[in-house]
Amino acid sequence: MATNSHLGSLAASFHALHEGTAPLVLVNVWDVASARLVEEAGAAALATSSSALSWSLGFPDGNHMPRELAMAALRRIAASTALPVTADIEAGYAHVGGGFDDGELRETVRAVLAAGAVGVNFEDSAEQPLTDVDEQARRIAVVRRAAEEEGVDLFINARTDTYLSGRFAETAFTETLGRAEAYLAAGANGIFVPGVQDLHVLHDLAQRIAAPLNALAGLGAPSVGELHDAGVRRISIGGNTAKAAYAAVSRVAEDVLGDGNWSELAGARSHQAMDDLFGGS
């Protein structure tokens, strides 16, 4: 377990990454191998993907994975790197018996910090169409207080699915701004709005939200440079890393089981290169 002073230093570094001249770009990971590969490629920080982690453990995305499994994976990832790590905690793993338990949410925050992470993504899509804005703001305040009690300036990236849910149509922009204001007042540090690729919308959101704006990117999305010019301060690709990796597995399997050849293995890392990720010799 990392000491509070060490976590404090990592947290300060992670906050600072949102204030640089270039946006923070996160290639989301789900295990130690993916984390090591992303770090090797030059990442400044690591971020988990709840969807990728869920799939790797046999669960569908969307608050189905047990907290204990998520935290076990997070501990291994954070222990494998000196980089700041932020965890996707979905809706906080705090829904118990059809209700929401603040104590369970506090336990999630403590578990995240004990694992060595210094940031969280916390989403408002646990209820339908979305969690009530005042209730979600109250939950964010619970997260903030729990982190303060542990003496760590946790970076809370408040995710709102106003666009991704498709439930707000022409009111999505106004709804997003209202939720962003409430979430920031409750203690959030950044606002994550997945489902938006229109640069004009992103620019207007970035101008109107008084915190770093996080956009979800992937195939067909604007480039990092274009997103930067629109004012986006944080760019992540979520489960797209895992989707690409699992697509490669599918292609290999179809090749070997279908035509019986090995062409899809071209470009694979050597056994030694993989071992070297973990200090092998």
Q: What is the pLDDT along the chain (281 residues), one digit of tens a residue?
A: 567 889 999 999 999 999 999 999 999 999 999 999 999 999 999 999 999 999 999 999 999 999 999 999 999 999 999 999 999 999 999 999 889 999 999 999 999 999 999 999 999 999 989 999 999 999 999 999 999 999 999 999 999 999 999 989 899 999 999 999 999 999 999 999 999 999 999 999 999 999 999 999 999 999 999 999 999 999 999 999 999 999 999 999 999 999 999 999 999 999 999 999 998 65
Q: What are the start-end ranges of the E strands in 24-180?
A: 24-26, 46-47, 85-88, 95-96, 99-100, 119-123, 155-159
**pLDDT for res 281:** 53
Residues 265 and 91: their CA atoms lie apart, in Å, by 38
| Token duo for residue 232 | 């986006």
d(CA 273, CA 276): 5
Bridge partners (DSSP) of residue 88 are 121
Token pair, residue 57, equals 């453990």
- Lookup: tokens for 247: 């697509």
Structural contact between residues 202 and 213, judged by C-beta atoms closer than 8 angstroms:
yes
Phi then psi for 5, rounded to 5 degrees?
-65, -40
Q: Cα 158 to chain center, whole Å?
A: 10
Question: From the CB of residue 195, how many other CB atoms can be counted at a distance below 10 Å?
Answer: 14
pLDDT score for 4: 82
pTM comes to 0.96
> What pLDDT sits at residue 15?
98
Q: What is the pLDDT of residue 3?
A: 74
Q: What is the CA 113 to chain-centroid distance, rounded? A: 15
| Residues whose CB falls within 8 Å of the CB of residue 99, separated by 6 or more in sequence, listed in order | none
How long a stretch of residues is the chain? 281
Q: In the prediction, which pLDDT does 280 show? A: 65
